[in-house]
Amino acid sequence: PDWESNGIDHDDPSLFVYMGYSVRSNEWRYTEWRVWNGTTLLVDDWDNNPYATELYDWRNCDSACNANMNYDSWELVNVVDKEENQEAVSQLADVLRAQFDATSPTKK
């Protein structure tokens, strides 16, 4: 498939500067790009703002589209800065941190 060579598994993760962490809901995909520690291969600082954020709107994607996961069609416009999306951003940021931050209260 076209996406087969897009993975990062063929690169040395100790050389990465940032790592993107994503969560999905039926309506959105939210990503935070965090400073990456090439020695520990972890994000050391979840308390500061991420380097960058992304939010993609999947609300108009039907079940066939969702099953297909056609990112090229649905993730063309980053809507993270739109005021009307800030509640979704806040909720998904909480979900992301609970999932990936080892210091999150939900991980203790």
Give the Å distances, CA to CA, from 88 to 33, 47, 85.
Answer: 17, 19, 5
What pLDDT, on a 0 to 100 scale, did the predictor assign at position 5?
61
CA distance 51 to 87: 20
Q: Regarding beta strands 18-24 and 28-35, do their DSSP bridges make them parallel or antiparallel, or are they unpaired?
A: antiparallel
Q: What is the pTM of this model?
A: 0.82
pLDDT, tens digit, 9 for 90 and up, residues 51-107: 999 999 988 877 667 666 666 677 889 999 999 999 999 999 999 999 998 776 665
Q: What angle do CA 7, 9, 15 make, to 5 degrees?
A: 110
What pLDDT, on a 0 to 100 scale, did the predictor assign at position 103?
72
Query: Two tokens at 54?
Result: 């992304």
Q: Regarding beta strands 18-24 and 52-57, do their DSSP bridges make them parallel or antiparallel, or are they unpaired?
A: unpaired
